[in-house]
Structure 1
């Protein structure tokens, strides 16, 4: 959990917060996320997710499309000695990553956002937070 600001350089290298590094292990996966961000998963969490995705019905177009889109840009990553990852161009384009980025810890993953998209998301979520919470009343915790 947490929110951290870092810049991505012209080669696509981005510092991953020290707080996340130990939990990620030596290798992890980053891929396209929802809402215009990237998702990053430690390998054990990625394997759990893969098992769930395998159970999606292949006869459903939406399931096939989602799995293709999600997996096609997935890449195994590792940290360099400075605690950076190299974000491939496909993923940078998907998330609109150009300079300023926000890395957010969310449950079993981390997310990478462009600062602009993150600010838009948080502005909207903050404005509608009470309504969002009310709509989740039937969600079992």
Structure 2
């Protein structure tokens, strides 16, 4: 499994294409799924990882209205893509609008996937959550582990 970590600052071109970090292109060569994510960002999954999520998701309880709503939103907002020769992914107008993307973007690694943010939105998010991150310390990590 590829590990996606780090922060990168590519620019969105006039045709809606965004260059993904070169160090991840080999892992993404089999195709990617771009979908809406929380906090008005986009998620980029390797096709295999997206399929694994889908397999788990479809086995989730169909009796849970919140689960159904999440799955509908998640899958309806997905777009299968292949990186072009320059490592660019084409972001649909719907995705660009959803995430409020301007020319200045940020791509962050979230271990099993990448997230695409508008640069200002990412700065705002960091400002909003920095204190919680700093004060959580090891207790948040202990809860995860």
Listed one character per residue, the Cα deviations across residues 77-135 of structure 1 (whole Å, up to 9, x for unaligned) are 11111111100111111111121100011110000000011001111222221334466
Structure number having the greater helix percentage: 2
Give the structure 1 partner of residue 37 of structure 2: 33
**Deviating runs (4+, > 6 A) in structure 1?**
none
Give the structure 1 partner of residue 123 of structure 2: 119
Structure number having the greater strand percentage: 1
Give the structure 2 partner of residue 72 of structure 1: 76
Q: Which residue, 6, 9, 12 being the options, matches 2:16?
A: 12
Normalized against structure 2, the TM-score is what?
A: 0.90
Query: Following TM superposition, by how much is the alpha carbon of 1:57 offset from its aligned partner in structure 2, in angstroms?
Result: 1.5
Q: Which residue, 27, 45, 61 being the options, matches 2:65?
A: 61
Normalized against structure 1, the TM-score is what?
A: 0.92
SS in 1 for 2:51: helix
Query: Structure 2: any 5+ residue segments left out of the alignment?
Result: none
Q: Which residue, 101, 106, 111 being the options, matches 1:102?
A: 106
Listed one character per residue, the Cα deviations across residues 22-53 of structure 1 (whole Å, up to 9, x for unaligned) are 11123111100111100111112111111121
Q: Which residue, 14, 22, 29 being the options, matches 2:26?
A: 22
Give the structure 1 partner of residue 132 of structure 2: 128
Query: Structure 1: any 5+ residue segments left out of the alignment?
Result: none
Aligned length: 141
Q: Which moved more, 1:127-136 or 1:2-11?
A: 127-136
Question: 2:16 & 2:144 partners in 1: Cα distance?
Answer: 39
Question: 2:127 & 2:7 partners in 1: Cα distance?
Answer: 15
